[in-house]
Structure 1
Amino acid sequence: MSGTLDHVMIRVEDLEESLDWYTTHLGYEEKGRWEADTFTNVYLGPEDLHEEGAVLELTYNHGDNTYELGDAWGHIAVRVPEDELESSYQQLMDEGVEDYRDPESCGGRYAFVKDPDGHEVEIVKRDHGAKWSLDHTMIRVEDADEALGFWTRKFGYEHTGRWESDTFANYFMKPEGAAEEAMAVELTYNYDGRSYEMGDAWGHLAVSADDLHDYWETLMEREAADYRDPESCDDMFAFTKDPDGHEIEVIPADFESPE
């Protein structure tokens, strides 16, 4: 479906260590790979990934690189069945994953671990989707109204859930008609007016388009930021940014990584 989130990209310092972590602990398998002169991209997901499900892109820049996490990006979230949160977390602990935020400390509703580079991985209970499949990616925004308007007007997304507390609000967004198994973007707005550092350990969200150029033209008509247009990317993909500076890639639905 055009407009669904295709993947979320994170940068890793040791590709083999990261691949081992995600394949061993989450049971991910390699869905694709792009080997370039200066970087390697590997796309991962569960074996029984839904056709509208998103994958995780690990980007490894060749050489000795280190990255800053910042705080403008929050976490990725993976699904487990409703009655398997505690057992799934315990499985990770038994496998040697570091204990970060266990289910008890989160009221039995969710839990958190970290990957080798410090990216936070939330574990959420869901009655749909393959185990460990990507449920959402959380980003922090400085103006909730502006961020909600961006995703609804530019991309045609709609609310699929919201949670408002005394100090913050979470808004979950997907394109209208997207499958339950599609990944959502979670917009987190803290009421205290804080600002955020982008860092460079997180890369981008990617939106799938049936036709790259038509989709890009629509974004430009809706006054999205012209960050990297298709022509500047060899007509393979394009990039815009949200009001807070998070990068959003537009990628053809039939995209195949160059050999």
Structure 2
Amino acid sequence: MSASATAAASTDPKSYKFNHTMIRVRDPKVSIDFYGRNFGMSVMRKYEFSQFQFDVYYLAFDGADAQHHGIPWYKREGLLEITHNYGTESDAEFKGYHNGNSEPGRGFGHICFSVDNLQACEEQLLNNNVKFQKKLADGRQKDIAFALDPDGYWIELIRNKEAPAPTEQSKVAHYRFNHTMIRVKDIKASLDFYQNKLGMKLLRTSDHPNSKFTLYFLGFDPENKCAENSGEGVSDREGILELTHNWGTESDPEFKGYHNGNTDPQGFGHLALSVDNIEAACDRFESIGVPFKKKLTDGSMKTIAFILDPDNYWIEIIPQNELPGMPLLK
């Protein structure tokens, strides 16, 4: 057996975590205040990359009732990474980031929090002057809402069906960073990638024939708690990926594909997996034909890699430990 094959055998996809979703923000102070004050998220870690003129902050639900309370940030799911490129907050010429829901730049769709009481949550957010893309009363779907963060990113709000019975107030202790949505061109290729290459399980499917799209919810399930495509307990989970497939894109010769957010117009940056053995995991990905945007040996950051999914979205690969050599500030 080759050295590469030996290394590949020493990584277990069942241990992988859908660790975080990265978005770029104009002003980190404003964004951290927004997610903390309105949703109860706190900063788990901050890394400073002054040589590259940016910082990153990892936010998560971390109260006593949080799903991953007490677990180190790199071994948990449901983190939001906000990236701040120095100077955007004070640059009068900066036009802001793209939220991924209009052309050009359509691809990433939203993040989603599941909450204990949708109506109370919406009312509390409105009282805090949070803007909405869609309120509960708008449109045909009365069981979801979309709030807007300071950069215009959409935050879907759904009911956490596993939370305690609703009270008159919505309690952030019961909130979960449930999922991240991206649009995909060819659902067969995407399901093959996320299930067979990354090791995720299909947790739930939702068909919308009137609007000609289907939603696929995937996540890691190492303890096999959720039956395949059953939807059991999904609303109480964190670390779910929603793939949205608009029917016909896979066979439309005029469709040019989705935007991954890393060229103009920028906004969303990447998804991220934390893995048990990063060298072995990267060897495994390479051996099964997964394309890389950045290998471990590329560039100056030798502790992270980036692979590409079938739609060219970036997926960061990080180790399940503090990033060695990174300038940790918190």
Mapped pair 1:171 → 2:219: no
Distance in 2 separating the partners of 1:236 and 1:220:
16
Distance in 1 separating the partners of 2:152 and 2:174:
22
SS at match of 1:217: helix
In structure 2, the partner of 1:68 is 98
CA contact (8 A) 2:260 2:269 kept: no
Distance in 2 separating the partners of 1:107 and 1:201:
27
In structure 1, the partner of 2:124 is 91
CA contact (8 A) 2:133 2:154 kept: no
SS at match of 1:231: coil
Distance in 2 separating the partners of 1:12 and 1:182:
22
Mapped pair 1:77 → 2:112: yes
The equivalent position to 1:39 in structure 2, one of 42, 54, 57, is: 54
Distance in 2 separating the partners of 1:122 and 1:36:
31
Deviations 1:175-196 (A, max 9, x none): 2326763311100000142533
SS at match of 1:116: coil
Could you tell me which runs of 5 or more consecutive residues in structure 2 were left unpaired when the two chains were aligned.
Answer: 1-13, 89-93, 100-104, 164-172, 226-233, 250-254
Distance in 2 separating the partners of 1:123 and 1:145:
28
Query: Percent same amino acid among aligned pairs?
Result: 29
| Greater per-residue strand proportion | 1
Mapped pair 1:250 → 2:317: yes
Mapped pair 1:103 → 2:136: yes
In structure 2, the partner of 1:14 is 27
Could you tell me which runs of 5 or more consecutive residues in structure 1 were left unpaired when the two chains were aligned.
Answer: none
The equivalent position to 2:270 in structure 1, one of 204, 222, 237, is: 204
Distance in 2 separating the partners of 1:15 and 1:23:
12
Count of paired positions: 257
- Higher mean Cα deviation, 217-226 or 191-200? 191-200
1:117 deviates by 0.7
- Higher mean Cα deviation, 62-71 or 196-205? 62-71
Provide the TM-score with structure 2 as the length reference.
0.73
In structure 2, the partner of 1:235 is 302
SS at match of 2:129: coil
Deviations 1:161-204 (A, max 9, x none): 00111100000111232676331110000014253333320011
Distance in 2 separating the partners of 1:246 and 1:128:
31
Distance in 2 separating the partners of 1:121 and 1:22:
11
Amino acid at match of 1:74: G
Deviations 1:127-159 (A, max 9, x none): 347533210100000111111111112101110
CA contact (8 A) 1:53 1:133 kept: no
What RMSD over aligned residues (CA atoms) do the two structures have, in Å? 1.9
In structure 2, the partner of 1:226 is 292
1:100 deviates by 2.1
SS at match of 1:156: coil
- Higher mean Cα deviation, 65-74 or 246-255? 65-74
Distance in 2 separating the partners of 1:231 and 1:54:
28
